[in-house]
Structure 1
Amino acid sequence: MKISIFGLGYVGCVSVGCLAKNGHEIIGVDVSEFKVDLINRGLPTIQEKDIDNIIREGYEKGSISATTCAEEAVHNTDLSIICVGTPPTANGHLNLSYIYKTAEQIGKALREKESFHTVVIRSTVMPGTNKKYGEIIEEFSGKKRGVGFSVVSNPEFLREGSAVHDYYHPAVTVIGGDHTGAMEKVASLYRCLDAPIEITDVKVAEIIKYINNSFHALKIAFSNEVGNICKALHIDPFKVMDLFCKDTRLNISPAYLKPGFAYGGSCLPKDLKGLVTLGHDNYLDTPVLAMIHSSNEQHQKKAFELVHSKGKKNICMVGLSFKEGTDDLRYSPYVELAETLIGKGYRVTIYDEYVCLSKLVGANKAYVNERLPHLSEHISNNLESAIADNEVVVISHRNFDAKTYRHLLKEKTAIIDLARIHDLEELPNYEGICW
């Protein structure tokens, strides 16, 4: 395929070399005559392992060239990949002026081009950039998106120092767009790689790199705070984290990485507080660990605000224990929610098939007696009547039988889902806690 690559910095240079090595004909585009001259002499624009040999080989085969003229590049290629920089501004936003400038250039070039052109945004951008990019091309080309051109989002996940290796060994290739043919054309560039290709929504493709890198930053900060605590206790933190990583069922896995309601139970709150206290006892500041509880509390407040926003006083809560399949009420976020609602004057009816007041014992019983001393007045043994008699239904657990009670839920003022019940998402009165 004939491909033009806008921006000959880190990502652009690696893309030029690797795509040429994969058999494509590449034209690099940059406003810097210096970078263009380097590529046209078979030299890379960056220092990176293996890229010098790859660029030289592609140049010697005649499959790599570069120009400062965007029109020339667009007219002589079928697909343009945008790799220009999006540096941060002083207030934390991205400076998208460079990327939008390429949209103007491509739009002007497309005025005189008859064939369909595919544009691929590889740069790191905020959600909504793809849409605006297409609007700019429409403005400057006079062509309609989906008819004369398409814009596809294809974020890169290259690390400096191992960019070439990362290009050829991605964990996943992400492609987002609204034109099947254009997305298939982009996907064909990566079929030679041993990695899954995920076709997704444009905005999902635009935000995923921010999510990835923020989680990477969180992992580093978390590991460093663990290291500080271990050092103070004369424990080898590398042995601790090596052991931590051996659990691929819960620790290093998709477990818990699903948006939902706040955590609770007898373990997570207690052990987190214990670790933070251990750091404090050793005169250590652990801001990441310390703020986890605060974040969890904010999420709990959001649930109350969601109920409050409906303007109704009769509330049915389906599920009270900290998770389905147990009667453990200790530090349950649903107990906290019920306590807040009752304290604010709401009439709350609670149904939980696993919670039987006569069977609660020990710490479990003591906890709920402290938080909800009149729980028996709010508990219902009949879910159907509990739903029918109230205006707002709050669903706490994933085991809720949506099909059986869907007909009742349609008539309610609001359904507030804290667990994500897919069968209810299409109802007009449905709202998720964070989806």
Structure 2
Amino acid sequence: MRISIFGLGYVGCVSLGCLAKNGHQVIGVDVNTTKVEQINSGKATIIEKDIAEIIAEQHELNRISATTSFNDAILNSEISIVAVGTPSSKNGHLNLQYIYSVAEQIGVALMNKDSFHIIVIRSTIMPGTCDEFARIVEEISGKERNKDFAIVDNPEFLREGSAVNDYFNPPLTLVGSDNRDAAEKVSLLYKHLPAEIITTNLKVAEIMKYVNNTFHALKISFGNEIGNICTELNIDSHEVMNIFCKDKQLNISPYYFKPGFAYGGSCLPKDLKGLQTLAHDLYIDTPIINNVGKTNDLQIDRAVTLILNHWNKKLGFLGLSFKAGTDDLRNSPAVAVIERLIGKGCEISIYDKNINLSLLTGTNKEFIDEKIPHLSSFLVNSTQEIIDNCDVIIVNNKEKEFTDILKNVNSKIIIDMVRLDESLISKQNYTGINWAIDTSESTESKSWAIDMPKSIQ
């Protein structure tokens, strides 16, 4: 394909060389004449392992060139990749002036182009930036989005020092767009790479770089806090974390990474508090570990606020224990929510097939007697009683019977804390605690998001 790349800095230079190495004809575009001259002399604009050799090789093969003319670049390419910088401002916001400047340049160039053009943003951007970029292009060019041009977000996941290797060996390739044909064409650029190509909508693609890098920062900081505790106890922290990382079922896995309700039960709160206390006694400051519980409390606050939007309605709770398939009520977030709602005078009914008050013993019984001493007056015997007698149904556990009955409930408000089943999410009477269908996108876009294959081999 014929590709133009706007920005010949770190990401732009690597993309230029690697795309050319894969057989594409690539034009680099930059306002910096020095960078343009370097590329046209077969020299890389950055210091990075292997990239100098690739640029020299591809220049020799006449697959790469560079220019300061955005108009020439657009007219001589079918896909434009935007890889300009998006530095942070002092208050943490992104400086998008370079992104939008490129949008203006592309808009001007498209005035003189009749064929369809695809714009791919590789720069790190906030959700909504692609839409604003497209708006600027439309306004200046007089062309129509998804008729004359399309926009795609294709975030890069390159690490300095191993960028070329990362390009050719990615964990995945992410392509976001509201245009199916454009997404498929951009995906073809990466079809030879040994990784899944995931297609999604624009906003999901736009936020992924931030989610990834924030988690990487969290991992490093968490590891350091554990290391600091271990050091004071004369424990080999690397052995501890090596063992930690061997658990691929729970520790390094998707298991706990699903947004939803707060955690509960007997183990997590107790052991978290134990580690916090240990660090305190050792005079070790562990802000990440110390604030885990606060984040959990905030999720309970969020649930209460969501439900109190309907405070004058009859509330029905499906599930009370801290997770499905158990009668353990200790530190159940549902108990915490219900306790607060009772205090506000809400009318409440609860169904949980696993709860038999006569069988509760020990600390489990003590906990519920302290939090909801008259629990028996709130319990009902079936889900149908909840459906028949309540206006708002709150789902706290992933029990299959809840899915089966709620699929046919359309006249009651459903508030889901656990993402019970994907089939419920599109219902008009449904709300998730922290997920939703994006209603801002066009019908065509939402249809594409459902039908588009998840990977292109």
- Which segment is superposed worse, 381-390 or 243-252? 381-390
Which amino acid is the alignment partner of residue 416 of structure 1?
Answer: I
In the TM superposition, residue 386 of structure 1 has moved relative to its aligned partner by: 2.5
TM-fit CA distance, 1:387: 2.5
Q: Give the alignment of 1:314-353 within 5 angstroms.
A: 314-353=314-353
Alpha-carbon distance, 1:237 to partner: 0.4
What residue in structure 2 maps to residue 196 of structure 1?
A: 196
Q: Is contact 1:159-1:166 (8 Å) kept?
A: yes
> Aligned runs of 1:19-418 on 2, under 5 Å?
19-402=19-402, 404-406=404-406, 409-412=409-412, 414-418=413-417
CA contact (8 A) 1:312 1:392 kept: no
**Rounded Cα–Cα distance in structure 2 between residues aligned with 1:244 and 1:55:** 41
What is the letter of the counterpart of residue 302 of structure 2?
K
Q: 1:407 to 1:92 in 2, by over 3 A?
A: closer
Aligned residues: 434
SS of the counterpart of 1:320?
coil
Report what 1:423 is aligned to. Answer: 423
Structure-2 separation of matches of 1:407 and 1:237: 49
Shift of 1:400: 4.4
Equivalent position amino acid for 1:286 in 2: T
Deviations 1:164-184 (A, max 9, x none): 000000000000112222111
C-alpha displacement of 1:29: 0.3
Unaligned runs of 5+ in 2: 436-457
3-state SS, counterpart of residue 157 of structure 2? coil
CA RMSD between the two structures: 1.1
- Comparing 417-426 with 97-106, greater Cα deviation is found at 417-426
**CA apart distance, 1:75:** 0.8
- Asked if 2 retains the 8 angstrom alpha-carbon contact of 1:262 and 1:296, the reply is yes
Whether contact under 8 Å (2:5, 2:16) holds in the other structure is: yes
Deviation at 1:403, TM superposition (A): 5.5
Using the TM superposition, give the Cα deviation of residue 202 of structure 1 relative to its aligned residue in structure 2, in angstroms: 0.8
Measure, in 1, the Cα distance between the counterparts of 2:195 and 2:408: 45
Instruction: Report the 3-state secondary structure (helix = DSSP H, G, I; strand = E; otherwise coil) of the residue aligned with 1:155.
Output: coil
Task: Provide the residue aligned with 2:439 in structure 1.
Answer: none
Q: Which runs of 5+ in 1 are unaligned?
A: none
Matched residue SS, 1:291: helix
Change (3 A) 1:402 1:424: farther
Structure 1 residue 64 displacement after superposition = 1.0
Shift of 1:327: 0.2
In 1, the alpha carbon distance for the partners of 2:193 and 2:408 equals 50
- Give the Å deviation of 1:185: 1.3
What is aligned with 2:433? 433
Retained in 2: the 8 A contact 1:2–1:78? yes
Indicate how the Cα distance of structure 1 residues 416 and 92 shifts in structure 2: closer, same or farther if over 3 A, else same: same
**Cα deviation code 1:12-71 (max 9, x no counterpart):** 000011011111111100010111111111111111000010000011111111011100
Shift of 1:192: 1.1
Provide the rounded CA distance (Å) in 2 between the counterparts of 1:13 and 1:424: 46
**Residues 402 and 357 (structure 1 numbering): CA distance in 2 closer, same or farther, change over 3 Å?**
closer
Partner of 1:14: 14
Shift, 1:382, TM fit: 2.2
Q: CA contact under 8 A between 2:383 and 2:402: conserved in structure 1?
A: no
Spell out structure 1 runs of 4+ moving beyond 3 A.
406-409
Q: Could you tell me whether the CA contact under 8 Å between 2:318 and 2:402 is conserved in 1? A: no
- In structure 1, the partner of 2:449 is none
Answer with 356-365 or 311-320: which moved more.
Answer: 311-320
TM-score by length of 1: 0.98
Structure 1 distance, partners of 2:406, 2:269, is: 34
User: Is the 2:176–2:199 contact (alpha carbons within 8 Å) kept by the matching residues of 1?
Assistant: yes
CA distance in 1, matches of 2:321, 2:407: 25
State how far apart, in whole Å, the 1-side matches of 2:244 and 2:65 are. Answer: 48
Give the TM-score taking structure 2 as reference length. 0.93
* Structure 1 letter corresponding to 2:401: D
More displaced 10-residue stretch of structure 1: 147-156 or 378-387: 378-387
1:152–1:183 CA contact under 8 A, matched in 2: yes
Which residue identity is paired with 1:276?
Q
Letter in 2 for 1:415: I
Q: Quick one: distance in 1 between partners of 2:223 and 2:356?
A: 41
State how far apart, in whole Å, the 2-side matches of 1:321 and 1:260 are.
15
Q: Which has the higher contact order (CA 8 A, sep 6+)?
A: 2
Structure 2 CA distance, aligned partners of 1:305 and 1:388? Answer: 24
